[in-house]
Structure 1
């Protein structure tokens, strides 16, 4: 297991008598928080409430946050108050009540948190049932990849792929051939592409999504791009910057919109700009990122 330490120190804020008021909203290193507070007018105690969301870290592989949060009195009227943290849930709300002698409290807080990451498993081996490519009364053409034969249905492939629809048409010599060689692609990856939308499908994982998108784009299999988009939206733990690039590169609108909506701080934008994926983004997506940041001003 690997760990990574995250620290944060707030600026000075003042809690006053009245209703619960937001004192600060911030995000650092994938940890978002909203800090609110108020002073009870009867007993002059200050109550502070924090709402934390570390979903971004969770998506990056963190499965636990451990550490502490400390509330400090700026004028040393009361001893600093500590809250111990040990979380596995990504969204947490907690409160602390301090002091008993003022109608307003000047305070700061800090946290020191250690994220725990499980060791990355070895890449999953591409697996599929080769029997799905055996000859049957439902197949009428053989695709040859790296010398290996895949028996397929012209009608089925044509339905899913404009590439194969054209290849099997009368306008191409291949349309009359019983065996067609597919060049410049590995048998393993090409077979995985077909297996993704065949009956008893093989679902994508983080180790196969990029190859699947490359193949789905080359062979114009929109259904596979949609399947991969669902994985990246709801299951994947690939880092945000790469997911944003994949959404832009392979035309996945739902995923792109989700990524743009997450770009809600200057810190995230700086991290994106430093990544290797930034230079590969289209001008349109860069403009969308800029527009999203302007909404936060």
Structure 2
């Protein structure tokens, strides 16, 4: 899940004659991001600038993406805008410039939240409001939701909020046997500020989509698996069959593009769990190579 871009503009710093690394700005904190900006002079007209970031205060963020723009006083050189991707394993960005002028920089960095429950947008999504008329409680945490909206997306919630179902009359309705993080992801897939799964969450999303009868979440998962996933073809084939994703299944059958792959699939421990219709498709694919 993406947070709002975090922006910062530095002061101006003049050229210097230092050969060793010189810190231009110390570890300044800006909305949860700390950055040390430094420079090293290689020659009178060759300078290396380095930005070292720390975003440990942004809980649940695994990377930052965006850009850094370096500008010179009086436009001595054309401002340079550089794309950056900072991860837990790479928190530094370094760039060499053929100049030693007075410069400043600005950045615009977007946090990527791996844990939807930590994202600021998530708190807004399930906060108390006039539109929300009931509360779901998961692992002791409250999600303010709208009965009609949830009912329109899920037969499970339609029954839960039915006047004939006792729990539907409660001000706070507990939801058991699910983690707060996973349940929040499920609901977030069809909320206006939509959250999308990744390879580490898509299988759990499918499991919960089936349990809570949210067909739209299965479509969201199928789109991820079709367009962005790096999960291997065989595993995706089993997921497509188990959760009824026809477009993905068609792609996975095409992905069995040689005899060895088809045989490997048939020899898998999970092959017997496939539906008869999918087994026929795999068999037909086998015949294409014989």
Give your verdict on TM over 0.5. yes
Match of 2:283 among 280, 287, 290: 290
Query: What residue is the counterpart of 1:171 in the other structure?
Result: 164
In the TM superposition, what are the counterparts of 1:24-173 in structure 2 within 5 Å?
125-127=114-116, 128=119, 129-173=122-166
Work out whether 1:226 is the aligned partner of 2:215: no
Please state how far the C-alpha of 1:242 moved relative to its aligned partner.
0.6
Contact 1:241 1:277 in 2 (8 A): no
Query: What residue is the counterpart of 2:199 in the other structure?
Result: 206
Query: RMSD in angstroms over aligned alpha carbons?
Result: 2.3
Larger radius of gyration: 1
Work out whether 1:243 is the aligned partner of 2:232: no
Contact 1:134 1:150 in 2 (8 A): yes
**Cα distance between partner residues in 2 of 1:233 and 1:279:** 24
Contact 1:141 1:153 in 2 (8 A): yes
**Cα distance between partner residues in 1 of 2:151 and 2:177:** 20
Q: How many residues align?
A: 178
**Cα distance between partner residues in 2 of 1:206 and 1:243:** 11
Please state how far the C-alpha of 1:274 moved relative to its aligned partner.
3.9
Please state how far the C-alpha of 1:132 moved relative to its aligned partner.
1.0
Contact 1:140 1:152 in 2 (8 A): yes
Query: What residue is the counterpart of 1:278 in the other structure?
Result: 271
Query: What residue is the counterpart of 2:174 in the other structure?
Result: 181
Listed as ranges, the gaps of 5+ residues in structure 2 are 1-88, 90-112
**TM-score, scaled to structure 2:** 0.57
**Cα distance between partner residues in 1 of 2:264 and 2:222:** 23
| CA-to-aligned-CA distance 1:215-241 (integer Å, 9 cap, x gap) | 101001011100110110111000111
**Cα distance between partner residues in 2 of 1:274 and 1:291:** 16
Contact 1:242 1:277 in 2 (8 A): no
**TM-score, scaled to structure 1:** 0.56
Query: What residue is the counterpart of 2:184 in the other structure?
Result: 191
Please state how far the C-alpha of 1:276 moved relative to its aligned partner.
4.3
Listed as ranges, the gaps of 5+ residues in structure 1 are 1-120
Please state how far the C-alpha of 1:199 moved relative to its aligned partner.
1.4
Query: What residue is the counterpart of 1:110 in the other structure?
Result: none
